[in-house]
A = this chain, B = another copy of it.
Amino acid sequence: MRISDLGEFGLIDLVRQWTQPDQSATDAAAYRLTVANGDDAAALTFPAGPLTRLYTTDTMVAGVHFTAGTTPWRDLGWKAIASNISDVAAMGGEPEAALVTLGLPPDTPVAGVEQLYAGMMEICRQFGAQIIGGDMVRSPVAFITVALTGACSGSPMVRTVAQPGHVVAVTGPLGSSAGGLRQLLETGAGESIDESELVQQHRRPLPHVAAGQALAAAGVRSAMDVSDGLADDLAKLCAASGVSAEIYANKVPALSALKTAFPDDWLDLALYGGEDYVLLFTAPADIMDAAMTRLPPGGAVIGEVKAGEPGSVLVLDGQGSPRLRAGAGWDHFAA
């Protein structure tokens, strides 16, 4: 069997089985693994420290996750770090230290690599992270892997504790990055497009670190980041928690720039577009009320967690009728 037959998530399920630690290894470890493989980040606690330490990693491959010709190096650096910071934000943590691995063809321009690091350093400075090491190797295809550590006080927020009756919410507008990408593809890069709010969101997404910490402080326990698209990531959260969810299409927040640019498609972009790095979370109504008042503006309640087929997500229109799903998420290995 080929991995394309299994798909990304089938393969991930197998890997989780293959990497199941023996109890003896866990007993012998000098730390406690409080969140294992399968969440936004892994979490360890150590006997001597009050903080939980978070560990995440994320990779971008040329031709798969970015296009060498059209993604400026500086933006690529920014995004490679942003996706990792977002994973830490989704656990309620702050980023700390990054290891950066580059696979590069020998004919890569040095000026490009310099710009890549400039983009990484820029977002690191903005979010208080530091690049502490890494690896550089020759590769026929360019790739960038970032491993990031972070810390949070108390228990990290996870994907596995959503409960029927929880309210579902997000920390900001959705679809902006997908809208920016479509503008770039339709128009091509140029001075005027560079000023588009959507293009800026596509090129320099801002992880919701402050929002994640506000949620954790308000008592929210169930969260993840939206990297593959709202509907798809909510389905993952529901599957991990053994629940289903309904979301109300007319409550999904989006920038007015998105609605103006794509009056017919904005909702599909908001429901199925990825890489906004907004946080998705669920909580009982009273905690949700407290959380929404602590959040920076832009967030919105969008639905409800239900019992029912684990992992299923129903999108309802303004009349409460099921809306046909127009797109599907991103499967890394599907043919």
Question: A110's contact among B2, B96, B110, by CB below 8 Å, is which?
Answer: B2
Could you tell me if A96 and B29 are in contact, using CB atoms closer than 8 angstroms?
yes
Interface of chain A residues 289 through 335 with chain B (CB within 8 A): 332-335
In the assembled complex, how far is the CB of residue A160 from the closest CB belonging to chain B, in whole angstroms?
Answer: 14
Chain A residues touching B, majority SS:
mixed
Residues of B within 8 A of A333 (CB): 104, 106, 136, 138
Question: A51's contact among B39, B48, B51, by CB below 8 Å, is which?
Answer: B48
Q: Does A151 contact B (CB under 8 A)?
A: yes
In the bound complex, CA of A302 to CA of B140 (Å): 38
Q: Does A61 contact B (CB under 8 A)?
A: yes
Q: Does A133 contact B (CB under 8 A)?
A: yes
The segment from A117-125, A172-180, A230-238 that touches chain B is A117-125
In the assembled complex, how far is the CB of residue A140 from the closest CB belonging to chain B, in whole angstroms?
Answer: 5
Q: Does A19 contact B (CB under 8 A)?
A: yes
Name the CB-closest residue of B to A56.
B133
Q: Which of A5, A61, A109, A139 has the most CB of B within 10 A?
A: A139
Residues of B within 8 A of A14 (CB): 110, 113-114
The segment from A141-149, A189-197, A245-253 that touches chain B is A141-149
Q: Does A64 contact B (CB under 8 A)?
A: yes
Could you tell me if B11 and A55 are in contact, using CB atoms closer than 8 angstroms?
no
Contacts A49-B46, A65-B137 given; indicate if A132 touches B4 (C-beta within 8 A).
Answer: no
Residues of B within 8 A of A154 (CB): none
In the assembled complex, how far is the CB of residue A91 from the closest CB belonging to chain B, in whole angstroms?
Answer: 12
In the assembled complex, how far is the CB of residue A137 from the closest CB belonging to chain B, in whole angstroms?
Answer: 5
Could you tell me if B106 and A335 are in contact, using CB atoms closer than 8 angstroms?
yes
In the assembled complex, how far is the CB of residue A8 from the closest CB belonging to chain B, in whole angstroms?
Answer: 6
In the assembled complex, how far is the CB of residue A138 from the closest CB belonging to chain B, in whole angstroms?
Answer: 5
Could you tell me if B110 and A11 are in contact, using CB atoms closer than 8 angstroms?
yes
In the assembled complex, how far is the CB of residue A131 from the closest CB belonging to chain B, in whole angstroms?
Answer: 4
Could you tell me if B6 and A130 are in contact, using CB atoms closer than 8 angstroms?
no
In the bound complex, CA of A189 to CA of B26 (Å): 37
Q: A25-B125, A30-B151, A37-B132 are in contact. List 7 more A-B contacts (CB 8 A).
A: A3-B104, A15-B136, A18-B114, A19-B117, A48-B51, A55-B149, A57-B99
Residues of A near any B CB (own CB < 8 A): 1-6, 8, 11-12, 14-15, 18-19, 21-22, 25-26, 28-31, 33, 36-39, 41-42, 44, 46, 48-51, 55-61, 63-65, 96-97, 99-101, 103-104, 106-111, 113-114, 117-118, 120-121, 124-125, 128, 130-141, 143, 145, 147, 149, 151, 332-335
A-B interface, 3 closest residue pairs, ranked by CB to CB distance from nearest: A147-B147, A4-B106, A42-B132
